[in-house]
Structure 1
Amino acid sequence: MKKFLVALIAVLLVWNSYLTYEISRVKTQETTGQKVTPIYNNNTINGFTTDLTNIVTKTESKVVGITSSAHEDLLGTGSGVVYGKDDSGVYIVTNQHVIQGATEIYVSFDNGETLIAHLQGSDAISDIALLVVQPTFSVEAFNLGNSSVVKKGEYVLAIGSPLDLSLQGSVSFGIISGIDRSIAIDTDDNGIEDWEMTVLQTDAAINPGNSGGPLINMSGDLIGITSMKLSGDDVEGLGFAIPINEIIPIVDQLKENGYVIRPILGVVGKDISQLTIYQKSYMGINLDRTKGVLITKVFENTPASTGGIQTNDILTKIGDTEITSFKDFRKALYSMNVGDEVVLTIVRDNNEVNITVVLE
């Protein structure tokens, strides 16, 4: 009897092992025979990224590449924006330094078409140039934003052709890092900073070739023109753009006149701060005077000569604006209009004198 029970248990164990194997085999066949359908998440792109891609899609055809050459010798490349159009053609805005010295200018669109451009006008002080092209295809212009309402921390995009046109249409993203920044520049390339531009600061990447391209807000509006001349190439994450509100009146004058009309006083000056102690002593200037502009030349038949300004006068105010340097002088002067009557405060022989002139 005992031997029988042992044999029965052994048989049951073998049978149990067999059933376990068969069940496992059947399940494996059912699993491998089924077609597995993957589940895709169609919401992996969040709303923020979608907004960005929509803006790029909306605006990238309005950004162009600029190639400038002189007598068939390549000068350089840059970027530009489709600013507007009328019966005369399509207007492209870029930086003046992008096309400076060029005898031939070419505009490349995102559809692969390249057109010869006519230079309507340029302005070194604002670093703005206006080109005209005659495309045979449809071109849309940017909507112009309002740079006076731009806020620090606002998201922006920059589109352009960094390095060269092989990278045309490259997009960078950042924020407005600062507004109403004042940047000193040299407008006539003589090594002396003679003008201060009011600009927007951004951390969006701006590389050589991006100059003249757009700075775009999250509505797809043009709020500025980027400039590598202002940004320089020795600082990371520090870029600047000329505000669109500064550009509009410049473009209006370039379109109408081919140049920008600014009032003149008719003098050449030098910062008092640049004078040595010896020079101050020789000209009888108080040694503790560090602000103002020394008049070194007065041109004939100008508001300055008519008003009685003399060589070696020191200009300290234009109207109510204090003049500490030649940059201040030009900025104050260019904020006025031809025909304005202005009171100038000067120091002559260490005495303060007021002179009234009419700007031309």
Structure 2
Amino acid sequence: MSLFDDDFYSASRTFGGSRWKIDGRRIYGRTATRHFDIRTIAAVVAIASGVALLVGWTLGLRSAGSVLSTEERIVRAVERVMPAVVSVVSSVTGGGASEGPSFAIGVGSGVVFEKAGGRARIITNQHVVQNASKVEVVLDDGTRQPATVLGGDVFTDLAVLETDGKNVRRVAEFGDSRNLRPGETAIAVGSPLGLGLSQSITIGVISGPQRRIPVSLDADGRYDWEMDVIQTDAAINVGNSGGALANLDGKVIGINSMKIAETGVEGLGFALPIHQVLPVVEELVRHGKVLRPKIGIRAVELDVYENRSALGLPESVREGLVVIGEVEEPAASAGLKAGDVIVELDGRPVGSMLELRQYLYGRKKIGDKLEITFYRNGKKETVTIRLGEY
């Protein structure tokens, strides 16, 4: 079992010019000065002790009231965000569209982010709907209705759904996940353990506002990507994937996505920060995918390649990526072939898929040139390609 257990995922990753609006209020204070006539001083002194007693008693009431107001803020926050959280049911059919009934393969959660033209759009996790032939959503009032997948992205684990907006009562409001502090209240809303416990909430705190964790996109136990997340101790359970992590104002600050599932480990849940989620959602709505640069190869790390001796590599070559399978464009036009061992990108050593993706997606754009250094039959070669679209 890997550190970040995939069994969690279901029950069976300035906004200038975009549509988004997040917190950004300034509060200005104002002071007033009052001048007393000297004749009032004696009266002020005379009642000073009484005022002190009154102030002390009043502060006591305010202190007691502050506890109640915190509880009330939680209740109001839940009332504000809960109608915007739905359950997401993914199913597969027994065969073709007309070959037998559908079988549910997972239940997750989703957050309504937009309602227009009679339609509602929902954020969820990609793994909740991946490989599903049928997707339905269950609204906060129990209405169950079909949904379509507009787009998804495995690297950020995000997907966008669209459904009939007639019975959707609330669209989520978004908070600012860029300036979270450890200890702030966090409210997780979703459908843990399936539809029987839909619209459940758990309360905790922000344990770590900015974490980066390794993930295995291929679920093979080898970490080949990293994700920026918010760490919380609010209980996140099976089926919470795609649900809301909200603040005390009932505004969504993250999309619940994963937890550490190991014996003896509790209170380690992770949500995708909303300021990183929204630009991805924008692309998924517009293109159905996130546009990224593409080399056009599949590769495995040299240290796990089973037939290293056949590559004819010099003894000094310890790390690299072995090209496997069919080579696609633009790598094919550059002459790359299966069995080539890539060791550098733009003169920078590369030894893992994680390093390749970090450089490619973090520093390059579609259409950029990329210099690839590789070994073929023991000979070192270099080619330059113009990156395509993934």
Q: 1:60 is matched with which residue?
A: 82
Give yes or no for contact 2:327–2:338 (8 Å, CA) kept in 1.
no
Give yes or no for contact 1:338–1:359 (8 Å, CA) kept in 2.
yes
Q: Given the superposition, is the C-alpha separation of residues 327 and 256 from structure 1 closer, same or farther in structure 2, using an over 3 Å criterion?
A: same
Q: 1:299 is matched with which residue?
A: 327
Distance across 2 between alignment mates of 1:205 and 1:213: 12
Matched, 1:180 2:208: no
Amino acid at match of 2:137: V
Matched, 1:78 2:108: yes
Q: 1:331 is matched with which residue?
A: 358
- Of 226, 237, 241, 2:256 maps to 226
Q: CA deviation at 1:190?
A: 5.8
Structure of larger gyration radius: 1
Amino acid at match of 1:248: L
- Of 146, 149, 152, 1:116 maps to 146
Structure 1 gap segments, 5+ residues each: 1-40
**Count, aligned residues:** 315
SS at match of 1:117: strand
SS at match of 1:249: helix
Give yes or no for contact 1:291–1:323 (8 Å, CA) kept in 2.
yes
CA RMSD after TM alignment? 2.9
SS at match of 1:148: helix
Amino acid at match of 2:342: L
Q: Given the superposition, is the C-alpha separation of residues 349 and 91 from structure 1 closer, same or farther in structure 2, using an over 3 Å criterion?
A: same
Q: CA deviation at 1:191?
A: 6.2
Identity percentage over the alignment? 34
Q: 2:386 is matched with which residue?
A: 358
Give yes or no for contact 1:280–1:286 (8 Å, CA) kept in 2.
no
Q: CA deviation at 1:163?
A: 0.6
Range with bigger deviation, 346-355 or 199-208: 346-355
Q: 1:271 is matched with which residue?
A: 301
Q: CA deviation at 1:82?
A: 0.7
Amino acid at match of 2:322: L
Matched, 1:260 2:282: no
Distance across 2 between alignment mates of 1:86 and 1:97: 26
Distance across 1 between alignment mates of 2:247 and 2:66: 24
How is 1:1-360 mapped onto 2 (pairs within 5 angstroms)? 43=65, 45-71=67-93, 72-87=102-117, 89-137=119-167, 139-178=169-208, 179-187=210-218, 189=219, 193-228=223-258, 231-232=260-261, 234=263, 235-275=265-305, 279-287=307-315, 289-297=317-325, 299-300=327-328, 302-319=329-346, 322-335=349-362, 336-346=364-374, 354-360=382-388
Give yes or no for contact 1:207–1:233 (8 Å, CA) kept in 2.
no
Amino acid at match of 2:387: L
Distance across 2 between alignment mates of 1:42 and 1:202: 28
Q: CA deviation at 1:309?
A: 3.5
Distance across 2 between alignment mates of 1:143 and 1:58: 9
Give yes or no for contact 1:115–1:135 (8 Å, CA) kept in 2.
no
Distance across 1 between alignment mates of 2:289 and 2:254: 20
Amino acid at match of 2:239: G
Distance across 1 between alignment mates of 2:350 and 2:289: 27
Give yes or no for contact 2:344–2:373 (8 Å, CA) kept in 1.
yes
Amino acid at match of 2:360: L
Q: Given the superposition, is the C-alpha separation of residues 138 and 66 from structure 1 closer, same or farther in structure 2, using an over 3 Å criterion?
A: closer
Q: TM-score, normalised by structure 1?
A: 0.76
Q: TM-score, normalised by structure 2?
A: 0.71
Amino acid at match of 1:46: L
SS at match of 2:332: helix
Amino acid at match of 1:358: R
Distance across 2 between alignment mates of 1:319 and 1:148: 32
Give yes or no for contact 2:311–2:377 (8 Å, CA) kept in 1.
no
